[in-house]
Amino acid sequence: MSPPEALAPHRALGLTDAEYERIVEQLGRHPNGVELAMFSLMWSEHCAYKHSKKLLGQLPTEGPHLLMGPGENAGAVDVGGGLAVAFKVESHNHPSAVEPFQGAATGVGGILRDVFAVGARPIAVLDSLRFGELDSPRSRYLLERAVAGIGHYGNSIGVPTVGGEIYFEGPYEQNCLVNAMCLGVAEHDRLIRSAANGPGNVLVLFGALTGRDGIGGASVLASAELGDGDDKRPSVQIGDPFAEKKLLECSLELLERGLLVSLQDLGAAGLTSSSSEMASKGGLGLDVHVDRVPLREPGMEPFEIMVSESQERMLCVVQPAQLDAVLDVCEKWETTATAIGEVTDSGRLRVLSGGEVVGDMPVGALVDDCPLYDLELRKPAAPIYPAPQAMLDPGAGPRELLPALLGSANLASRLPVYEQYDWLVQSRTVRRPGDADAAVLALPTTGSAGGARAAIAVSIDGSGRRVACDPYRGTVEAVFECAANLACVGAEPLGLTNCLNFGNPEKPHIAWQLSESVRGLADACRALDVPVVGGNVSLYNEGPDGPIYPTPVVGMVGRLPEAARAGRLGFAEAGDAVAFVGPFAPSLAGSELAKLRGEPLPDGLPEADPAALRAAIEAVRDAVRAGELRSAHDVAEGGVAVALAECCLAGGIGARVDYRGAGSGEQLERLLFGEGPGGFVVSGPRPALSALASRASVTFLGEVAGDALELALDGGTLSWPLAELRAARDDGLRRDPAVG
């Protein structure tokens, strides 16, 4: 059945003719304007995952610590003592590319709501950011405004930003990435799900007023490529962290008093997605009266009310006898609350205005029956990303390369950014940014007085350039990198969340990248026995100049039994031995050094043994927990030389390292600056490091000493005073007006 010309706007809303005909078949008639708007959002890529859902079925989602997995607002794991940690990462890429301050700010607000929607109090935020090269005025502008937006929202609401990552690469010039991760803590019995329950129960909307801001926002922006000159600022939501703070406290009090049956935040697609998903999970129906919704702007049409993405709103199901108590709590927190509907046993989502039905759809048709597409996969026959601009003198040797790497945009100190965030609010932060490879947060005390205080650790990671070289192995590396970061503070991984940022999946080479990356994510999680508790997919991240690097961002949460024993990355005591641990096989392929030299991306990365990587991670973790190591730092961007320099700078003390026998030329550069998974630089008493050799490969390098990093080589000794290295690293971002 072909739609009449009058309904051709379905194409403008992102629906294909075949999808429209499927909607007609589901309804048994043509949809009206309200229904068409709702279907267009629920069947968008952002809400339906229609190009990725089949792939995501590969991911392992079971684990001994899992309490709440995919399908809820956030996943949750058991961290002992009757406590749960809920966490999730999501993207706000397209809104941030259009309006970076509000895009980033509302991205933080949205992920906070995901966490307190399951009953957990948010205790930390991390962010993963990607921009074009810093010599670009656009990238400088996006960085400055996105960082300001993150700081504004998190600082205002009182949730610390404790970690994250920022990379600068040409393919993100038009389409920046802003991924935000949040963690929250709750007692097991306070966790709540979002499924509607109990026909006759009341649907209550509480929080901010509903306006036209954000109509067609995240759900539309994230389901299409950005074009030249697109003016989509009206589609970007406006956030109010102070309203969200009241909403947070109100929600948690309602849960503490046992007044709610279920709870759901309003994110992309607003009332449409929140109501239909609650109904779908409960296998029930809902009647929503849009004329009862408190509005910020008069005269809004029913479809506008249903698709508005105004921020700081929650939807809950309440037993009729508890309605007055719910409204009283909301009034206490100065949070507008209104009964806007009822739970039914009809299996349908009905939209009513003035008693008239203006929309009537089967819940299953909206939520579960969107077509899922098989991707056409094809590995690109030729490079799709241009080589980066060369930044180094071709004749530069190791003496010049180390300061150049430390001062480069991807390796320079992030302190100019973190200075804009409050990382100490709530007084839980044990390891602040720059102290360790993972953020560490103390858990509430449990058990008898005087017992050790446990903690959680969290890391977020993902190298788009390495995934562009090899989508499978690059993604495996990202997962093991997160686990290595946790090991360096003594934490055992409990669960993983992810945000898959890719280009247009309808293009075969992008579909191949996505498919290979998901396969790598699944295999790495199984190798580590870490379940995926939830996540997000962000596709169509590309502009007229091409796609972004394929960027799977991985967030991992772990537990350590004693907060006081959390590891640090900085060298601590003169005379300590310095050693290298792990099955590290360095390669310059896809490395930071290769980028600075302007080399094109290689086709593939070296293979690594997952079992050997896991063994090294567990050995380092156990040694940190036992107090045998005074420092531990995994080798990442820039290779061993950069890792050694970072350990010296973090501890304020130098090291003398013996690399005689390492050769010269390209061989020496590979050993010093090559990258790959599985390597750790550690320090501590020599007997303790000798004992570690029984559990992992250990190579003694030298000792902690002096006020310089000294490398003894076959041709002599290279020496870098710490003051020189610190100036190179600390000035790398400050030199740029965006963050200086």
Give the pLDDT of residue 218: 40
Q: Is the pLDDT of residue 735 over 90?
A: no
Say how far residue 174 (Cα) sits from the centre of its chain. 20
The pLDDT tens digits of the residues spanning 492-519 come to 999 999 999 999 999 999 999 999 999 9
Fold for 388-412+568-740, please state it: Phosphoribosyl-aminoimidazole Synthetase; Chain A, domain 2 (3.90.650)
pLDDT above 90: percentage of residues in the chain: 86
Give the pLDDT of residue 260: 97
CATH class of 11-43+195-217+259-370: alpha beta
The upper half-sphere exposure of residue 739, i.e. CA atoms within 13 Å in the direction of its Cβ, equals 27
Residue 141 CB neighbours (<10 A): 13
Burial track 9-24 (b if 16+ CB lie within 10 A, e otherwise): ebeebbbeeebbebbb
Q: Are 417 and 147 in contact (CB under 8 A)?
A: yes
Contacts of 148 (CB under 8 A, 6+ apart): 101, 104, 420
The pLDDT tens digits of the residues spanning 664-707 come to 899 999 999 999 999 999 999 999 999 999 999 999 999 999 99
Q: How far is CA 152 from CA 148, 166, 234, 418, in A?
A: 6, 18, 21, 12
Give the pLDDT of residue 385: 96
Contacts of 131 (CB under 8 A, 6+ apart): 139, 142, 143, 146, 166, 167, 168, 172, 173, 176
The pLDDT tens digits of the residues spanning 176-216 come to 999 999 999 999 999 999 999 999 999 999 999 999 877 85
Q: Collapsing DSSP states into helix, strand and coil, what is residue 601?
A: coil
Give the pLDDT of residue 159: 94
Give the pLDDT of residue 9: 81
Give the pLDDT of residue 217: 45
In terms of phi and psi (left: phi > 0; alpha: psi -120 to 50; beta: otherwise), the region of 652 is left
Answer yes or no: 152 catalytic: no
Answer yes or no: 92 catalytic: yes
Helix axes 100-116, 241-256, angle to 10 degrees: 0
State mean pLDDT over 551-567: 96
Which neighbouring-strand residues pair with 497?
534, 555
Burial track 369-406 (b if 16+ CB lie within 10 A, e otherwise): bbeeeebeeeeeeeebbeebeeebeeeeebeebbbbbb
Q: What is the 3-state secondary structure (H, E, C) of 410-458?
A: CCCCCHHHHCCCCCCCCCCEEECECCECCEEEECCCCCCCCCCCCEEEE
Nearest to 248 by CA among 117, 142, 137, 428: 117
The residue written with tokens 């684990």 in the block is 63
Rounded Cα gap, residues 643 and 672, in angstroms: 10
Give the pLDDT of residue 235: 54
Catalytic residue of the set 10, 46, 51, 65: 46
Rounded Cα gap, residues 399 and 720, in angstroms: 8
Nearest to 72 by CA among 220, 184, 208, 153: 184
Q: Collapsing DSSP states into helix, strand and coil, what is residue 318?
A: strand
State mean pLDDT over 76-87: 97
Going by pLDDT thresholds of 50, 70 and 90, the confidence category of residue 226 is very low
Give the pLDDT of residue 732: 80
In terms of phi and psi (left: phi > 0; alpha: psi -120 to 50; beta: otherwise), the region of 386 is beta
Give the pLDDT of residue 237: 74
Q: Are 620 and 492 in contact (CB under 8 A)?
A: no
Rounded Cα gap, residues 570 and 651, in angstroms: 4
Domain with CATH 3.90.650.10 in the chain: 11-43+195-217+259-370, 388-412+568-740
What six digits make up the tokens of 299?
A: 């005269």
Burial class (CB in 10 A: 0-12, 13-18, 19+), 262: buried
Rounded Cα gap, residues 275 and 277, in angstroms: 6
Q: What are phi and psi of 173, to 5 degrees?
A: -55, -50
Rounded Cα gap, residues 528 and 59, in angstroms: 13
Q: Are 90 and 558 in contact (CB under 8 A)?
A: no
Residue 621 amino acid letter: R
Helix axes 100-116, 137-157, angle to 10 degrees: 40
Residue-wise DSSP of 117-161: TTTPEEEEEEEEEEES-TTSHHHHHHHHHHHHHHHHHHHHHT--E
Give the pLDDT of residue 721: 98
Catalytic residue of the set 10, 51, 65, 92: 92
Give the pLDDT of residue 231: 46
Give the pLDDT of residue 227: 52
Give the pLDDT of residue 450: 52
What six digits make up the tokens of 10?
A: 């379905």
* Three-point CA angle 326, 327, 328, nearest 5°: 90
145-159, 217-231, 280-294, 432-446: which has the minimum mean pLDDT?
Answer: 217-231
The pLDDT tens digits of the residues spanning 83-114 come to 999 999 999 999 999 999 999 999 999 999 99
What is the rounded average pLDDT for all residues in the chain?
Answer: 92
The pLDDT tens digits of the residues spanning 571-620 come to 999 999 999 999 999 999 999 999 999 999 999 999 999 999 999 999 99
Nearest to 288 by CA among 275, 297, 298: 275
> Which helix (H) or strand (E) is 313 found in, with range?
strand 313-318
Q: How far is CA 305 from CA 203, 309, 391, in A?
A: 16, 9, 52
Residue-wise DSSP of 621-634: HHHHHTT--SEEEE
Give the pLDDT of residue 520: 98
Torsion angle in degrees (nearest 10) through CA of 640, 584, 439, 462: 100
Q: Residues 187, 188, 193, 196: is their CA dihedral positive or negative?
A: negative
